Structure 1
Amino acid sequence: MDRHGRLLQLFSYLLLSARLFIHTYSDEDFIRQPPRQLILTSHHGKDSDPQQVHISLVGKDHMKISWVTSHEHVKSMVEYGKTPGIYEASATGEHTSYQYFLYRSGKIHHVTIGPLDPKTTYYYRCGGSGPEFKLRTPPSAFPIEFVVAGDLGQTEWTASTLTHIGAKDYDVLLLPGDLSYADAQQPLWDSFGRLVEPYASQRPWMVTQGNHEIESFPIIFPRGFKAFNSRWQMPYQQSGSKSNLYYSFDVSGAHIIMLGSYTDFDANSDQYKWLRADLAKVDKSKTPWTIVLIHAPWYSSNTAHKGEGESMRLAMEEMLYTAGIDIVFAGHVHAYERFTRVYDKKADQCGPVHVTIGDGGNREGLAMLFEKPRPSISVYREASFGHGRLRILNQTHAHWSWQRNNDSNSFAADEVWLSSLSYSHACCKNSSFECTPLTTQNDEL
């Protein structure tokens, strides 16, 4: 067992806690599964072998390959091609490392490859040796399928969620914060990277931060996010952002905005000014679907973390409303809840659909208590583990489903057809964006 493996065993007992899961609102026939334990994933290869491999999108036709090695002398290089074992191209990048109290990370590599063809499988090798990986690039146009999973963690429920995600194909995974639940115990970042590698090395994972990524400490680490920013570098520079904590990207006709719930967001902040400029550049003729991810939800009828997203909602909701945002995904609350289109706490056909999906498999358990009676704007809510799938078929229609974990199977417990606001006759005339109204556009809400 390597040094990191021994540290994982040392720290693990602090996290091996569970809560009793009590059935709440929604499916009266569903029997809630019992809690499951933390998974600690060790590295069994050589020090020079890549581990914790994950990929992310960079621009319209590039990808970033990120991985960690224990050996200091491995090159930050990726070889790649369209045929197994034959690498027609290569790219070099950069590496970093960080220290957190007595912990020192391995060598963290980041290499951008491309240009790449859309919807194409590539085979790649990291550092000039070791195992071969493969990835598939997203399509250049619709349809495209996103997986959405928040508050993932690394428990046996996480493993169940990942199995269900991998059982059906998808193009891009979106994660609205709370990845490893390391909470300053840095070896758990390594364990998490190894756990998700079989999935994150094949499809791009686009993430934003949650409260468990902060890991600040007075005077020594006052700014926080040291591990997150070192390990999970997102393409923030390409969208004009100054911070890895918020950014945007375009993929296959969708404009995705990842916001930071735990960095400044008031009207004088860099994030606020960046968001305003980013929304002004959106071309709805090219990206008719606009999706936002945050961590702390702006709308929730769960008693957990009540009101924690309110100040951010007050600061930014009007901007999103006038820009015609279609969907807002959030995590933080460990349950699933879907709202109707809403603005300023009221149902509004021109507002975004808000979805809380903080149920990927975290170690803290489910948020089981919902307010009673259920608010009229809350369409479906349930405290179960699971993940979501958003399949955008074309410029006008998308299908959303929430897949509940149910032991060895996943079950589509909630689903709905959505229409893009870019083609809404009722909303185009009152919005700041240019759109082409179609009188027949309606959601199935």
Structure 2
Amino acid sequence: MDFRGVILLLLVFVGYPWVSVPSAAVRTSGEDYVRPPPRATLNLPSRRTKQSSDPQQVHISLAGGKHMRITWVTSSEASPSVVDYGKLRGKYTSTSMGESTSYTFLFYKSGKIHNVVIGPLEDDTVYYYRCGGEGPEFHLKTPPAQFPITFTVAGDLGQTGWTSSTLDHMDHCDYDIHLLPGDLSYADYQQHLWDSFGDLIQPLASARPWMVTEGNHEKELLPLFSSEFRSFNARWKMPFEESGSPSNLFYSFNVAGAHIVMLGSYTDYDQYSDQHNWLKADLAEVDRTKTPWLLVLFHVPWYNSNRAHQGEGDDMRASLEPLLYAAGTDLILTGHVHAYERTERVAGGRLDPCGALHITIGDGGNREGLATRYLDPQPDWSAFREASFGHGELKIVNGTHSLWTWHRNDDDEPVRSDQVWITSLASSGCLSRRPDKLEFGKISVGP
């Protein structure tokens, strides 16, 4: 093992100091709002107990075709991977069996991770369910089949006091699905933090589907060990197989009238890669008469006027933006930069009425603090930017209009700080200007 590997091993067992927290509130030039400093990491010891069959870290996700995946962890290896469910509290009319897995990470061994797909389920309906044949009852609500539908969005969550505020504010939204563009637990090799993160989000994630993609803090790559994305893939199985993807790191799904694509910023994306080939085929199958909205999420932003992480998305943008532009992508949501920014419609580095609207929302509550330094002057494509913790809410009202709102965490109150109506490209005439779908790879955008 090389020197870097030794250092990483030491970090796993003894911990390491995170980015320091400012001792005073931060004010940026020209803004009246004074941002409070980041809050400390929560003390959330794992509730895993030896031989316990109680379901822990329960979260749900869409599994395609009116099905839902229920995921939970038990300490007991004997606990069965079974879910009983029904539409009446305490009365279960259906049972589904599933599968289980576990993983090791150096000297850590996870609990038994259960994955059970239930359904078919009725749209816009509350179901009650029980995991493992015993224990507490949970409930979930399936998404609607038609508009309107509401998404919450927050990236770079972590496990701090601000994470708690963000989750609390989301809990007061009447939403259908949560979208998370990477950086979930901030475990960073310390595997018990995956367990505490699962417990932290369980009240929300067990009731509404969470659809996630990976960020850099999910990579957890150790030299000389095959560990890349091991924890993420074991704990957060997404419907990649249902969408024809070869990898859990990128996939797509349909809900109501939206086609949503989750891409991987940290897996190959050049024109010869599996991800590029899969995306090209996936977009070619999108029927904008049935799904007039096309949304895309990944971790590293392509359009970013913050000084943090400048240029990191350039290579991915060069490879994949032509495909997304040709497909008429309406909205691209990213994280990574710990601040909020919304662009105008843009493509090829310049304003374009048929380009995507980009939103960076890597401000869910992470322990690393806010990215407060912006480029000056502000680019013409940057419409609104602010370094504050918060979450977004996207309400797709119908096939032509949606309402985007960003809620800043002002102390412990959600304050609506940015709001804009978005018109779909499917209704704007832009799609008629696109080349044939089979020619996606030949289009070029920008200068």
TM-score, normalized by length of structure 1?
0.92
In the alignment, which residue of structure 2 is the partner of 1:86?
A: 91
Q: Deviations over 1:164-206 (max 9, x none)?
A: 0001210000000000000111000001000000000000000
Query: Cα offset for 1:33?
Result: 1.4
For residue 409 of structure 1, the aligned residue among 388, 393, 413 is 413
Contact 1:324/1:433 (<8 A) preserved: no
In the alignment, which residue of structure 2 is the partner of 1:325?
A: 329
Q: Which amino acid aligns with 2:434?
A: S
Q: Which amino acid aligns with 2:203?
A: P
Closer, same or farther in 2 for the Cα pair 1:49/1:15, shift >3 Å? farther
**CA–CA separation in structure 2 for the residues paired with 1:408 and 1:352:** 32
For residue 28 of structure 2, the aligned residue among 24, 28, 47 is 24
**CA–CA separation in structure 2 for the residues paired with 1:12 and 1:193:** 20
Query: Cα offset for 1:60?
Result: 3.0
In the alignment, which residue of structure 1 is the partner of 2:42?
A: 39
In the alignment, which residue of structure 1 is the partner of 2:350?
A: 346
Query: Cα offset for 1:381?
Result: 0.2
For residue 431 of structure 2, the aligned residue among 401, 413, 428 is 428
Query: Cα offset for 1:407?
Result: 1.7
**CA–CA separation in structure 2 for the residues paired with 1:236 and 1:281:** 16
State the SS of the aligned residue for 1:249. strand
Closer, same or farther in 2 for the Cα pair 1:25/1:165, shift >3 Å? farther
Q: Deviations over 1:408-436 (max 9, x none)?
A: 210110000000000112x13311479xx
1:65-144 paired onto structure 2 within 5 Å: 65-144=70-149
Query: Cα offset for 1:48?
Result: 1.0
Unaligned runs of 5+ in 2: 1-11, 438-447
State the SS of the aligned residue for 1:59. coil
**CA–CA separation in structure 2 for the residues paired with 1:12 and 1:25:** 36
Closer, same or farther in 2 for the Cα pair 1:13/1:345, shift >3 Å? closer
**CA–CA separation in structure 2 for the residues paired with 1:182 and 1:176:** 16
Query: Cα offset for 1:218?
Result: 1.7
State the SS of the aligned residue for 1:429. helix
Closer, same or farther in 2 for the Cα pair 1:176/1:122, shift >3 Å? same
Query: Cα offset for 1:369?
Result: 0.3
**CA–CA separation in structure 2 for the residues paired with 1:380 and 1:11:** 41
2:269 is equivalent to residue 265 of structure 1: yes
Closer, same or farther in 2 for the Cα pair 1:36/1:87, shift >3 Å? same
Closer, same or farther in 2 for the Cα pair 1:299/1:431, shift >3 Å? same
Q: Deviations over 1:40-70 (max 9, x none)?
A: 3235586110000000001130000000001
State the SS of the aligned residue for 1:387. strand
Contact 2:26/2:34 (<8 A) preserved: no
Contact 1:15/1:38 (<8 A) preserved: no
Q: Deviations over 1:227-248 (max 9, x none)?
A: 0000000000011000000000
**CA–CA separation in structure 1 for the residues paired with 2:36 and 2:180:** 23
In the alignment, which residue of structure 2 is the partner of 1:5?
A: none
Closer, same or farther in 2 for the Cα pair 1:62/1:238, shift >3 Å? same
**CA–CA separation in structure 2 for the residues paired with 1:50 and 1:10:** 27
**CA–CA separation in structure 2 for the residues paired with 1:25 and 1:342:** 26
1:36-435 paired onto structure 2 within 5 Å: 36-44=39-47, 47-221=52-226, 224-425=228-429, 427-432=430-435
State the SS of the aligned residue for 2:272. coil
Counting matched residue pairs gives: 424
**CA–CA separation in structure 2 for the residues paired with 1:310 and 1:240:** 27
Percent identical: 57
Q: Which amino acid aligns with 2:34?
A: I
Closer, same or farther in 2 for the Cα pair 1:433/1:163, shift >3 Å? farther
Contact 2:53/2:74 (<8 A) preserved: yes
Contact 1:183/1:215 (<8 A) preserved: yes
**CA–CA separation in structure 1 for the residues paired with 2:48 and 2:306:** 44
State the SS of the aligned residue for 1:239. coil
Q: Deviations over 1:362-404 (max 9, x none)?
A: 0000001000111111000000000000000000000001000
Query: Cα offset for 1:11?
Result: 5.9
State the SS of the aligned residue for 2:254. strand
Q: Which amino acid aligns with 1:73?
A: A
State the SS of the aligned residue for 1:238. coil
Query: Cα offset for 1:16?
Result: 8.1
Contact 1:323/1:433 (<8 A) preserved: no
**CA–CA separation in structure 1 for the residues paired with 2:218 and 2:427:** 38
**CA–CA separation in structure 1 for the residues paired with 2:368 and 2:210:** 23
Query: Cα offset for 1:32?
Result: 1.1
Closer, same or farther in 2 for the Cα pair 1:221/1:370, shift >3 Å? same
**CA–CA separation in structure 2 for the residues paired with 1:257 and 1:40:** 34
Query: Cα offset for 1:211?
Result: 0.2
